[in-house]
Amino acid sequence: MAFGLHSYPVVYRAKFVQEWVGEYIEKPHKTPAEEARLTSAELEALEDSRNFYADMPLVSYSSQYGFSCFEGLKALPQKDGGLAIFRPDQNAARFYNSMKGLYMPPFPEEEFVKACVETVRRNALLGFAPTYDPEWEKDSFMNADSVYIRPFTYSESGVGVTVPSHPWTMVVNTPVSAYFSGRSSAAVITDRIRATPNGTGWIKAASNYVISAIAKHEAMEDGFMECIYLDATHRKYVEEGSSCNVFFYLKSGELVTPELGDTILPGITRKSLIELARDMNVKVTERKISIEEVFDDAVECFVSGTAAGATPIESLTYNKKTVIFNNREVGELTACLRDTLKGIQYGARPDTKDWMVKVL
């Protein structure tokens, strides 16, 4: 299973009126073993009952205009038998900034972390959480299970084009495994534009992902795993993937990732990999990198994100020309960064940076 809405029973919901007021809601459920024995129709009906809320509006600024923002983070089974969340404070800060950027009352960062931890904890106590499997270590956790945590906003009723002033913040949990599936990891440069200067590219806004879904669908129809965007102004500088940041390791030994700005999302995994690479004495540069430089000088490429981790890209196609990275094999630096990050996340390597927040 990759992404799919198999929502766990316990959700968090907060509403802003004059201040944020939150609650934990336990939706209908059976035990995980009992749910596993249900027919497909029975399970679908049960999961629908967990996803519908009769007291929230159908017509809203979110449903009509995509006026919403969200986060994605994971709780990961630990080798010692526990469960821990990767850097939720960073997601809390980005969520706060996203809401502020959309002129919504921002959700407090401490409450964000608390809600993420508590929903995962309550669901796990009901049996809704994966357990650590040593088999995951054989492929560096690339197919390991985890709990996906999805905080998001939903607006009050509205149909005029304006900003929400009394939104909800929701936190739901769902199981997730490998994001990218299949043996090919080829990528293609899309003609579409993800974000423009002075837009919302730096915000994790729901509306940004419409073009991402379209572009990735087109790429997959053409046999590629991922699509990569160029900048909107010059149409020559690499920006990011459909829902992930991108890195290039050059012949010179420099690891380059596009510099942050108002068209690129400040990824938490991106930030973490930069720190890990610098710990390995790798020269990391955040700067503009043209597609020509990638074709001429890049020897490794990988994309990063909560779902992607550090996923190697075997080739990149642009204008019917293709550059192949490291003979289509996982590069040494890519593998090292991937294994280090995953090892920390699943408790198989020491967490010397205190990135993991314990749930159980």
- For residues 267-288, give the mean pLDDT: 98
- The per-residue pLDDT for 1 is 41
Q: Which residues pair with 276 in a beta bridge?
A: none
pTM, two decimal places: 0.95
Question: Which is it for the CA torsion 150, 261, 242, 161, positive or negative?
Answer: positive
- The per-residue pLDDT for 4 is 60
Whether the pLDDT of residue 25 is over 90: the answer is yes
pLDDT digits (tens, 9 = 90+) for 285-334: 999 999 999 999 999 999 999 988 999 999 999 999 999 999 999 999 99
Q: At 180, is the pLDDT very low, low, confident or very high (cuts 50, 70, 90)?
A: low
Q: How many CB atoms neighbour CB 338 within 10 A?
A: 24
For 249, which DSSP code?
Answer: E
DSSP β-ladder status, 315-318 and 309-312 = unpaired
| Structure-block tokens of residue 145 | 């299970």
Q: In what order do the strands lie in the sheet with 321-324?
A: 238-241, 226-230, 186-189, 315-318, 321-324
- The per-residue pLDDT for 295 is 98
Q: Which amino acid is at 353?
A: K
- The per-residue pLDDT for 178 is 72
Q: What is the average pLDDT score of the chain? A: 96
User: Where in 28-118 does DSSP place strands (E)?
Assistant: 73-77, 83-86
- The per-residue pLDDT for 182 is 61
- The per-residue pLDDT for 307 is 87
The contacts of residue 352 (CB under 8 Å, 6+ apart) are none
Q: At 101, is the pLDDT very low, low, confident or very high (cuts 50, 70, 90)?
A: very high
**Domains of the chain, earliest start first:** 10-176 (3.30.470.10), 186-329 (3.20.10.10)
- The per-residue pLDDT for 3 is 52
Whether the pLDDT of residue 91 is over 80: the answer is yes
Question: Collapsing DSSP states into helix, strand and coil, what is residue 60?
Answer: strand
Whether the pLDDT of residue 353 is over 80: the answer is yes
Whether the pLDDT of residue 43 is over 60: the answer is yes
